[in-house]
Amino acid sequence: MRKLVVFLVLLSTVFASCDEYVTSAVNDFGTSCVYPQCFGAAGRYKEAAFCYWGEGDVSTARIYFQKAADYYLQGISYVGPAGDYPLRAPSYEYAGDMKAQLGNYAVAAKYYDAAISEYLKIDNIAKANEVKAKKAALGQPTVAPTTGEATVSQNLLLAGFFFLVAVVALALFFWRRRSPPKEDFTPIVSEPTRPPEEPKESAESPKEKMREKIRKKYGLE
């Protein structure tokens, strides 16, 4: 039953309206971009953009890709060059992601270079290499987020998997409840019947029989 609850929760997020991401950006982080809320609001706008993209509404998706990029960059403007490197690095990276989605590859490359520089300042070599790979792949068609958020199609696949698990779990649950308990059954094995024994023939000779008869008659036993 717990798997069914998990599935229902996941299913509710899968079919959530793309507008809910926009509403969340405003309700959770405010209408103005104030550090560090800019970063959180940008993330919501990015989720909204990928949601619309997954639904095929490209024009609306482009609006929120641009809005997300603007918020990432505005957030960086509040942080001086000497502060908050961990937040500056992903802000540049995600701004590059948004520009890449909009087809502005030259601008995206510039932001990727800035992100690589920031990651190296905090010795995050793995992330720096990851951003270098993104820069090398610029110009190739991409429809999925590259920062860890699940797209609508990925969520649908996950929902289908959990739905299958829930159906199997429910089927097993009801089958176990309806199946009668097994009784111990020990088969009775009957012993084979033996044929009646044939009377044994006496080994005494006629002469011996006569002697026995005489003994009994005269009490000689």
List per-residue pLDDT tens for the chain, 221 residues long: 444 433 433 344 444 589 999 999 888 887 777 777 888 999 999 999 999 999 999 999 999 999 999 999 988 877 766 556 678 899 999 999 999 999 999 999 999 999 999 899 888 999 999 999 999 999 765 544 443 344 444 444 445 555 565 656 666 766 666 655 555 555 565 566 666 665 555 556 777 777 777 777 666 65
Which pLDDT value is given to residue 175?
Answer: 64
Task: Please state the domain extents for the chain.
Answer: 17-151
Give every CB contact of residue 97 below 8 A, 6+ residues apart in sequence.
46, 108, 134, 145, 146, 147
| Secondary structure, 3-state, 75-124 | HHHCCCCCCCHHHHHHHHHHHHHHHHHCCCHHHHHHHHHHHHHHHHHCCC
Tell me the whole-structure pTM to 2 decimals.
0.57
Residue at 4: amino acid letter: L
Which pLDDT value is given to residue 152?
Answer: 43
On whether the CB atoms of residues 83 and 72 are closer than 8 A, the answer is: no
Which pLDDT value is given to residue 78?
Answer: 76
Closest to 60 (Cα-Cα) out of 93, 31, 101: 101
Give every CB contact of residue 73 below 8 A, 6+ residues apart in sequence.
91, 95
Which pLDDT value is given to residue 28?
Answer: 86
Which pLDDT value is given to residue 145?
Answer: 45
On whether the CB atoms of residues 132 and 124 are closer than 8 A, the answer is: no
Tokens of 69: 């990029």
Write out the CATH class of domain 17-151. mainly alpha
